[in-house]
A and B are shown apart, each in its own frame.
Chain A
C-alpha cells in the first residue's frame, strides 16, 4: 500500500452533506474487475452533463461547468473538503479507489460513514475528521482564495492553513502506523496465525456446527 506521511496540496470542495458512494462512483462502473481507472468517473453524474458508460473515453463528454472539479482553480487538487457523513451508503471500495485514482490523498470532513472511512485506510487515502466549525472556516478560506492549499502532516496529526493556523486531528494509532509505513494488513495479521489457529481449534470443540457445513 501507498504510504502517507505529509502532503501539501490544493483543496477542492464537495460542498454538501451526506455524499453517498453512488454519487462518488455510480454503479455502472462497478462492473470493472480492476482496482484502477475509476478516477475519470469520480462524481460522474455531477461532473458530466451526460450519462456515463463503463469503458468509455471521457475526453469528449460535456462537462458540467458548475462542478468544482471542472473549474480551473481546483485543477490538481489532492485534498477534498467535504461535509457531514461523507461516504454513506454502500461498502464499495471503488469509492476510495476513484478518489485515489483521481489524485486525492486526503478527504477532510466533520464526519464519515463507517465502512467508507475504513476502506480509505486500505488504500493510502487519509479520511480526516475536523470539527464542523473548523471545516466551515476552511470552506470560507478556500472560496476566498484561489489556489488555496493545506498541509496535512500525519506524523504530527495536524492540518496547517496558508496563514500558519494549525488544527490537530485524532487518528487511531494502528491505522496511523499502517498508513505511514504503507503496511499490508494481511501480512500483519498472518503474523498472528498461531493465535488464529488456537482460537479456531477451541471453537471446533465448543461450536462444531460452525465448521464444514457448507458443501456443494
Chain B
C-alpha cells in the first residue's frame, strides 16, 4: 500500500461508502453535544419521528451558557439568572433524558467545556472520528483522532445515522523544528503558525502538526495547538500518536482496560504518517524563532511578538488587507507603531477550550504566585475547563494563589471566551485573554481582545500592561 498520512489512515478506517461524485459517507465514533447547537437537531429528530442511531456514542454537557459564579451555580439549572440561557440548558437536560443520552449536568463534578471533558473522560480516544457542534472540536485531534466541528443539521444527521456526508480534505503538514525557548508555550506556537499562514491558510485542509516541538509537547499543549487549527481555516488539526498520547489516555474513565487496552494500544501505534507520505502543502517554522505572541487586531492572524510594535497598515500592499488592518486598529483603539508593551489592560481572562487545562492553570499560577493584580486591572478571572480540572487545581492549592493575588476563581464553563453568559467585556475594554478568537464583539459588545498564553495573561494582570513573561519571571 502507498505511504499514507495520519489523516489518510483515519479517513480510510472510517469510510462506509465512497460515492462516484467524490463525496463519501464516513462513520462517526464519538459525538459530543452541548446546549447551543443541539436543540434544533433534537427537535428535527422528533419531527421526523427518528431516534439516535447509537446512544452510547454520544456524551453531552452544558458549557457555553452556564454561569461561572458559585452563587449562581449553587442551585443548579434553576439558579441560572438569565431566563433565555436557563431554557437552553434545561432543553439539553430534557433532550438527553428523553433520548437516553449520558449527560454531565450543570453541577456534575465532571461537567465542563466539551473539548476539555472529551479527552479528560476518555470518551475521546486515539483513532476515533469525533464531531461536535462546535468548531473547536479539532482539539481532540491531539489524541491522533480525526475531530472537527459540524453545524446543527449535521448534529441531527450524526444523531440519526451515525455518519456524515463528507469530502476528503487535502493534507497539510505544519512542522515546527528544534526547541522552544523558555517561557514560550503551545499557544505562542499556534498563534505564530496562524500569523504565518493566515486565517484562511488551512481552508480545505486537515493539518498534521509534526516536528520535534510537538513531540516534546505535553498533551495539554497539543490540544491547545489543535484547538486553534480552525483559526487557521482548517476544520481538523492532529498530532501523531506516541508515548505521550498513550500515557495520557491510560486509566481514564472510558478508556479500554486489560486485554482490550493492549489491543487498542497496538492499533493506536500505527496512527502516524508513513515515511514518504504525500502532503499537498508543507509549512515549516523554527521553534527557536517563536516568541511570546500577542494579537493586536480583530483576526487571530493579526499577531506579533510581545516586544514588537503594532504594524503599519501603510506598509501592506494588498488593499483589502490594508483596509482590514485600518478597521481593526480603529476598533481596537490602537495606533500603528505603538509598542505592544504600552497596551493597558482592563481585564484578564484565563480559561476557554484553548487554555483551561491543568497545565494552563499551573502556568498562570506560577507567574501570579506571591504577586498582586495591578490596581488598574478591573478584573482578572480564572475559569477552569472542567470540574475535574478545578478539583485538581484546588488540590494543588492553585486557587489560593489566584485569590491571594486578587484574581477570581470561577466555576467551569466557556465563560468570557464568547460571553454568552454574564462574563463579558464592556465597550472599549482591553482584555488579555487565553481564548481563541479576537473578533469584533466576541467577548462583549465593543470589547477588545488580545490573544495570549496563560503565562502572558497572568503577567499582564500583574503588570497592568503586556510584558514579556520571560523577563517578568526572572
Binding site for B on A (CB under 8 A): 16-18, 20, 22-23, 26-28, 30-35, 45, 51, 54-55, 83-85, 88-93, 96, 111, 113-115, 118-119, 122-123, 172-174, 185-186, 189-190, 192-193, 195-196, 199-200, 203, 207-216
Closest B-chain residue to A207, C-beta based?
B267
Please give, as numbers and ranges, the residues of chain B lying within 8 Å of A51 by CB-CB distance. Answer: 445-446
Say yes or no for B204: interface residue by CB 8 A criterion.
Answer: yes
> Does A17 lie within 8 Å of B22, measured CB to CB?
no
> Does A190 lie within 8 Å of B160, measured CB to CB?
yes
Residue in A84, A172, A190, A196 whose beta carbon sits within 8 Å of that of B27 in the complex:
A196
For residue A61, give the distance in angstroms from its CB to the closest CB of chain B: 13
Closest A-chain residue to B40, C-beta based?
A35
Residue in B84, B165, B167, B234 whose beta carbon sits within 8 Å of that of A189 in the complex:
B165
Q: How many Å lie between the Cα of A43 and that of B291 in the bound state?
A: 36
Residue in A192, A193, A213 whose beta carbon sits within 8 Å of that of B56 in the complex:
A213
Residue in B19, B162, B256, B419 whose beta carbon sits within 8 Å of that of A200 in the complex:
B162
Extra contacts besides A27-B418, A96-B151, A192-B163 (16): CB < 8 Å: A22-B437, A22-B440, A26-B441, A33-B91, A89-B135, A92-B151, A111-B203, A115-B148, A118-B151, A174-B165, A195-B25, A196-B53, A200-B27, A209-B263, A211-B54, A215-B102
Q: How many Å lie between the Cα of A26 and that of B19 in the bound state?
A: 37
Please give, as numbers and ranges, the residues of chain A lying within 8 Å of B167 by CB-CB distance. Answer: 172
Residue in A193, A199, A214 whose beta carbon sits within 8 Å of that of B58 in the complex:
A214
Contacts A83-B320, A88-B233; is A31 near B88 (CB within 8 Å)? yes
Please give, as numbers and ranges, the residues of chain A lying within 8 Å of B58 by CB-CB distance. Answer: 214
Per the 8 Å Cβ criterion, residues 347-390 of B in contact with A are: none
> Does A115 lie within 8 Å of B150, measured CB to CB?
yes
> Does B324 lie within 8 Å of A33, measured CB to CB?
no
> Does B321 lie within 8 Å of A186, measured CB to CB?
no
Q: How many Å lie between the Cα of A92 and that of B38 in the bound state?
A: 10
> Does A203 lie within 8 Å of B27, measured CB to CB?
yes
In the assembled complex, 16 residue pairs joining A and B whose CB atoms fall closer than 8 Å, in A order, are A18-B324, A22-B437, A22-B441, A27-B442, A30-B64, A84-B200, A91-B134, A91-B137, A92-B36, A114-B204, A186-B48, A190-B161, A196-B16, A196-B161, A209-B264, A211-B56
> Does B163 lie within 8 Å of A173, measured CB to CB?
no
For residue A27, give the distance in angstroms from its CB to the closest CB of chain B: 5
Say yes or no for B153: interface residue by CB 8 A criterion.
Answer: yes
Per the 8 Å Cβ criterion, residues 24-68 of B in contact with A are: 25, 27, 29, 36-37, 39-40, 43, 48, 50, 53-54, 56-59, 64-65
Binding site for A on B (CB under 8 A): 16-17, 19, 21-23, 25, 27, 29, 36-37, 39-40, 43, 48, 50, 53-54, 56-59, 64-65, 82, 84-85, 87-88, 91, 102, 122-123, 125, 127-128, 133-135, 137, 148-154, 156-157, 160-163, 165, 167, 199-200, 203-204, 230, 233-235, 254-256, 260-261, 263-264, 267, 299, 320-321, 323-324, 327, 418-420, 437, 439-442, 445-446
> Does A186 lie within 8 Å of B161, measured CB to CB?
yes
- Number of A-B residue pairs having CB atoms within 8 Å of each other in the complex: 203
Please give, as numbers and ranges, the residues of chain A lying within 8 Å of B160 by CB-CB distance. Answer: 186, 189-190
Q: How many Å lie between the Cα of A128 and that of B82 in the bound state?
A: 39
Please give, as numbers and ranges, the residues of chain A lying within 8 Å of B22 by CB-CB distance. Answer: 172-174
Closest A-chain residue to B19, C-beta based?
A174
Please give, as numbers and ranges, the residues of chain B lying within 8 Å of A90 by CB-CB distance. Answer: 134-135, 149, 437
> Does A113 lie within 8 Å of B203, measured CB to CB?
yes
Q: How many Å lie between the Cα of A35 and that of B44 in the bound state?
A: 10
For residue A139, give the distance in angstroms from its CB to the closest CB of chain B: 11
Q: How many Å lie between the Cα of A183 and that of B61 in the bound state?
A: 31
For residue B95, give the distance in angstroms from its CB to the closest CB of chain A: 10
Contacts A114-B203, A185-B157, A196-B162; is A84 near B440 (CB within 8 Å)? no
Q: In the complex, which of the residues B59, B128, B299 has the most CB atoms of chain A within 10 Å of its own CB atom? A: B299
Please give, as numbers and ranges, the residues of chain B lying within 8 Å of A118 by CB-CB distance. Answer: 150-151, 154
> Does A93 lie within 8 Å of B151, measured CB to CB?
yes
Closest A-chain residue to B20, C-beta based?
A173
Please give, as numbers and ranges, the residues of chain B lying within 8 Å of A18 by CB-CB distance. Answer: 199-200, 299, 324
